[in-house]
Amino acid sequence: MAAKSYIGQWFQDVWNIFTNELNLVLHDSGVMLIFLFAGLVYPLLYNCIYGHGVVDEMPVAVVDLSQGSDSRRYIQKLDATRECAVAYDCASMREAQALMAEGKVHGIVGIPRDYDAARARGDQGVISTYADMSTFLYYKNLTLATNLVMLDEMQSAPVDQYVGFDHHLPYNQNISFTLFFVYMALFMILQQVMFYGSATLAGTIREEKRDFVTLTKNLSGLGMGRVSFGRGAAYFIIFLLLGLYGAILVPHWFQLPMHATWQDTLVLLLFFVTDIIFFSFTFSTFIDRRETVLVMLLFVTPIAVFLTGFTWPASSFPEVWRLLSYVFPSTFGCRAYMVLSQTGTLSSIAPELRAMTLQIIVYFLLATVLYYLRTRKPKPAAETA
Amino acid sequence: MNLFKQIGQVARRELRLWKARPLYLWGSAGTVALSALFFLTFFQSGIPEKLPVGVVDLDGSSTSRNFTAQLDATQLGKVVAFSDVTSARKQLDRGDIYAFVVIPERFDEEVQAFHCPKMEIYANTLYPVIGGALAYKDVMFLVNLTNGAVQRQVLRAKGLSDREIMGIIQPLVLDAHNIGNGPTSYAYYLNNMILAGILAMAIMLVVSYAIGSELKYGTSKQLLELSDGSILTAVWGKLLPYTLLFTLLGVCLQLLMFGVLGYPLQGSIGWMIVAMFFMVMAYESVALFIVSLVPTLRLGVCISALYSVLGFSFAGFTLPIEALPGWLQGFSYLYPLRFYYQIFVREALYGAGIAVWWPALVALLAFQLLPYCTFLRLKNAYQYQNYPRN
């Protein structure tokens, strides 16, 4: 009998805490703004911004001092590439440099006086290129276009090959520098929105000296697990919906390369959403006031972004930052999403799922214990006050 | 005289607030310092080294072993050996290795017989994109090197001179120069603008918190009294310490990067400091504008956060503005960071001088007109406190 009523009470408590939390979220304009704007609009926006991610017909200046048929052919071929367009034909390097300094061109191709003569003699012809490094996309465009034309020129006098190669770039063949960013962002948004949103709410409640469990009596000690479960369930519903939207629907609308079935993505989402919830509960324990979490911790977002290893490779992380990366669910979640979208098999992301499971256990325990410690401490103080 | 005295009074009041709540200094100096610590150490030398590259050696001859050893000795690559293609492909898909090369069976024999055996090169250029692209480049370089070595051997045997040989093997050479970032350092490329973006974020959050908390904690009336009922005096006095603090932080970042760490700087540090000062003021104005519009602390801080996160994308350094869809390009004008970036490129990378980049400076100045559109609204809110506090 006693055991039954305990279980019954347990479910009753979890249910009350769950509905209470959901109520709090839905009636808070600031939190809803974060959830809805960041959760619904950012995924669309980042797809629009980074989905294309290439510059076509980048303006370049050429300085052709050779003025021969070989040099002119090189320039014509360069102009014909998708990456570059010859916008200025300069008489001197100084003129071209001025154009680049003003930002009118993003690359210079200089052909020296003896170019055609050297090629005619059978010597090497040397072409100088100057890339605008203000963004790597400009650099990539100039490098790619000048090299493609060079290879094409060399085809005209083929020389015997002794070692050949076939190359395979199974993903992202034109090496878009931004495609990966979209996958990373879709999962990162979920984590950051969950963290800042729930921490804002936790801060509000503490500021107003209320509790998460106003509807439930006699909660203490081991009963704190109910708070984590009940509150967690509320966010679980919200973020599963946001996750289905951001990680399945949006990529579908924007036709992102996606080899994973929606069922497999859903499995990944179940792990990730649970993980970010307890991660957020753990760290929001330290938030005492409503608006402070954004002011104090928004700067963590760009750090978490780079710790996913989406651009600077994880194998080149300094040791201390590699350890820090294990704190964030996004380190495993973003990577798993990227890998799953390429391979389409859950078995390929088994290591990340294991890591997230470990995080879930650790953060659940931490969140519950920290919550227990926090609710215990102020009580004697309140009585004496 | 009286005006300066009042501004001084309000500024001193603000400093007392800083002392009472660590949030202000943490949100500004703390976050900027920690971000600088992270990003300035994260990219290390600026170019990744020793990237994991797989080799599937199906030949096992001295030639193929020599190839593997050479690949391992390159600065970019570190060889991971695989016995079959399937296992290498699995790790490539997971991004555990960034590229791999398959050396076919009887590779050595075929080379000796001039049958031109083919190596298979695989690279994962999606994740991580920089690692994948560089590892791919490294493998290609070595394959071409191997091919060139045999070509040279054969042509030498035909009695050609080295100069003639180079004219045949490589008739065309590109002499590449990278303006503003010679070593293609990732640190040079990103850190200047990421840290400026984080500073911008801190300004938005801390200033909107400072302006908005007067409303939430009901201290705005007292502030107005102190400034003799003038909202301008109140705001100027309040923002004076922030302007100094954030400019100081920005200049410290600049001196650290351009000075101590030797990041490329073609133009004058003086102009960069001027640009920093105007960017700080521009962001303060945007924050002031947003809080005056809403005017509650709750929404003010939220909107400032949502706005400033997008600044990294709209400044143009991760992706040039012209690569955005047309309707999105206009949004970049809403960000002072975009104009600071324009000045940074023209001045720091090219030393072009103010004659070239003055329009960006004017744009930064124009942001400072924004709050004048909403001062009345802020004054009313400060006076009557007739907006919900939460």
* pLDDT one-digit tens code per residue, B256-312: 999 999 999 999 999 999 999 999 999 999 999 999 998 888 889 999 999 999 999
pLDDT, position B390: 58
Indicate the length of chain A as a whole number. Answer: 385
Indicate whether this model's pTM tops 0.90.
yes
Question: Cα dihedral sign for A93, A96, A100, A105?
Answer: negative
Query: Are the C-beta atoms of A316 and B44 separated by less than 8 Å?
Result: yes
The two three-digit tokens of residue B306, written as one number: 């949502």
- For chain A, the 3-state helix, strand and coil shares in percent, each to the nearest 5, are 65, 10, 25
CB spacing of A315 vs B131 below 8 angstroms? yes
Residues of B whose CB is below 8 A from A308? none
Residue A89: CB atoms within 10 A of its CB come to 12
**Bridge partners of A131?**
A107, B178
Residues of chain B contacting residue A290, judged by C-beta atoms under 8 Å apart: 298, 390
Please indicate whether, in this complex, the C-beta atoms of B90 and A53 are within 8 angstroms of each other.
no
Per-residue pLDDT at A214: 46
Confidence (pLDDT) at A223: 67
Of the partner residues A150, A163, A339, the one whose CB lies closest to the CB of residue B111: A163
CATH of A58-151 among 3.40.1710.10, 3.30.70.20, 2.60.120.10, 3.40.1180.10: 3.40.1710.10
Chain B residue with Cα closest to A349: B94
Which residues does chain B have within 8 Å of residue A339's beta carbon, measured at their own beta carbons? 93-95, 127
Strands A125-132 and B172-179, sheet pairing: parallel
Nearest-angstrom CA–CA distance, B364 and B277: 10
End-to-end Cα distance, chain B: 38
**Hey, is B84 helix, strand or coil?**
coil
Report the distance separating Cα A150 and Cα B144, nearest Å: 15
Query: In angstroms, how far is CA A9 from the centroid of its own chain?
Result: 42
| CB nearest B127 (choices: A139, A154, A310) | A310
What local confidence, expressed as pLDDT, does residue A377 receive?
Answer: 53
Judging by DSSP bridges, how do beta strands B118-123 and B99-103 pair with one another? antiparallel
Are B375 and B381 a contacting pair, CB within 8 Å? no
Q: Who's near B78: CB < 8 A, 6+ residues apart?
A: B50, B51, B52, B53, B72
Structure tokens at B141: 């370089």
Q: Cα separation of A294 and A204, whole Å?
A: 13
Best mutation target among B211, B290, B302 (most A Cβ atoms within 10 Å) is B302
3-state percent helix, strand, coil for chain B, nearest multiple of 5: 70, 10, 25
Cβ–Cβ < 8 Å for B103, B86: no
Residue A321 near residue A308, CB atoms below 8 Å = no
Nearest 10 degrees: Cα torsion B184, A98, A80, B324: 70
- Nearest-Cα distance to chain A for B3, in Å, is 31
By Cβ distance, the residue of B175, B301, B319 closest to A295 is: B301
Mutation site for A-interface testing, chosen from B71, B179, B184 by largest number of A Cβ within 10 Å: B179
Interface test with B, best of A37, A84, A294, A327 (most B CBs within 10 A): A294
Round to the nearest angstrom and report the end-to-end CA distance of chain A: 41
Q: Using 70 as the pLDDT threshold, list the residues of chain B that sit under it.
A: 1, 389-390
Instruction: In whole angstroms, give the CA distance from residue A130 to residue A96.
Output: 10
Please report, for chain A, the start and end positions of each structural domain, with discontinuous segments joined by +. 12-51+176-384, 58-151
Please tell me which residue of chain B has the smallest CA distance to A155: B171
**A19/B131 Cα distance (integer angstroms):** 47
Nearest alpha-carbon partner for A196 in A37, A353, A372:
A37
Question: Looking at the DSSP assignment, which residues form a beta bridge with residue B212?
Answer: none
The reported pLDDT for the residue numbered A4 is: 61
Residues of A in contact with B186 (CB under 8 A): 312
CB-based contacts of B230: which residues, under 8 Å, 6+ apart? B6, B224
Give the ipTM of the model, two decimals please: 0.91
Residues of A in contact with B31 (CB under 8 A): 296, 298-299
For B92-121, the pLDDT digits (tens) are 988 899 999 999 999 999 988 888 899 999
Pick B147's closest partner by Cβ from A163, A168, A294: A163
List the pLDDT tens digit at each of the 385 positions of chain A. 455 677 888 888 888 888 888 888 888 888 888 898 899 999 999 999 887 778 889 999 999 999 999 999 999 999 999 999 999 999 999 999 999 999 999 999 999 999 999 988 888 999 999 999 999 889 989 998 998 899 888 877 777 788 888 888 777 776 676 788 899 999 999 999 999 998 988 888 888 777 665 444 555 555 677 888 888 999 999 999 999 999 999 999 998 888 899 999 999 999 999 999 999 999 988 888 888 899 999 999 999 999 998 888 888 899 999 999 999 999 999 999 999 998 889 999 999 999 999 999 999 999 988 887 877 654 444 433 3
Q: Given this model, what pLDDT does residue A2 score?
A: 55
User: Who among A157, A312, A351 is closest to B171 (CB)?
Assistant: A157
d(CA B375, CA A52): 41
B275/B260 Cα distance (integer angstroms): 20
Nearest CB to A122: which of B35, B119, B164? Answer: B164
